[in-house]
Amino acid sequence: MDIVTFGNILKTELENRLGDDYFITLQEVIKNNGIVHNGVTIKRNGCNVAPTIYYDELLPIYEKGESLDKIVGAVLSLYKDTDLGGNMDFGFFKDFDAACPTLSFKLVQAKPNEKRLKDVPVKLFEDLYMIPICIIRIKGEEQGSVTITREHLKMWEVSEQELWENIMDNTTVVYPATVRPIAEYLRMPDIGLPDILDDVYVVTNESYYHGAGAVLYPGVLRRIAEKVGDDLFVIPSSVHEMIVMPSLRCQIPPECLRAMICEVNDSVIREEDVLSPSLYYYSRQREELKIWDLDLKLA
């Protein structure tokens, strides 16, 4: 059975279960790095928001013999957990001054996302795109984000430069950076780690979600470099975090670090969470983060 047929079966069953008070739609959603997910959106009449539940991984379960009744029950359970229980007020988003305190950005690899982001006022950093987003409160402590497009800039009557100036002013408040020793981040502070991991830090944001961009916050890498007394290698662990280590004291040659990044990206990290195959180098003297290559001399 193909995913389209399965989606239509799922949609019909959900419609039968939920009745006329709900509107069920199927859609393909293009995520980071061009990964396509198949989702079912369940919208209750009178609500202006609706969760989308991805069902790609449910098809193999169905083909192995799981009953449709249990699968639909699982989808409805997910819907119940994500249902916001009413309407959300997006009125603040119509005014730039009101939206400013919610502005931030996230990082993705540029080339695989170029087509998807053609209408977004991204900012290029090396081989990465900085994507402008607006953080919204969903329910309780949960947060979500809206990608800012050029249509939003027209509505706000602001330039891309003005947008990014405000983003860089606000992002450290909206999504503060978190810098933790790797043992603490992995919750293994009492386990003896190899000496090679001394002064290795994980940089992310306070939510631990799409936090790799925190390495670009003003002063974050400079303070780490000052603390370890060395220039830095910056390793893109995923879109959610970066690993930072002293460069001159690193016992692994940079060529091997770069090969390790590619290997982990290919075999460990989910495709949509892969950030970059590149190794980055931060120079204390120049206060500059760049892609490391063979022509870049380590100071």
Using alpha carbons only, give the angle 205, 210, 215 rounded to the nearest 5 degrees.
55
At 188 the pLDDT is 60
Q: Which residue has the tokens 């100036």?
A: 165
At 299 the pLDDT is 46
At 224 the pLDDT is 96
- How much is the pTM? 0.85
Residues of the chain under the 50 pLDDT cut: 299
At 294 the pLDDT is 63
Model confidence pLDDT, tens digit, residues 61-85 = 999 999 999 999 999 998 887 766 5
Model confidence pLDDT, tens digit, residues 200-216 = 999 999 988 899 999 99
For residues 192 and 185, what is the distance between their CA atoms, to the nearest angstrom?
14
Separate counts of helices (H) and strands (E) for the chain: 10, 13
Model confidence pLDDT, tens digit, residues 33-52 = 989 999 999 988 877 778 88
At 80 the pLDDT is 83
What are the start-end ranges of the H helices in the chain?
A: 3-18, 58-63, 68-82, 96-99, 110-113, 150-156, 160-174, 182-185, 220-228, 254-267
Model confidence pLDDT, tens digit, residues 18-38 = 998 999 999 999 899 989 999
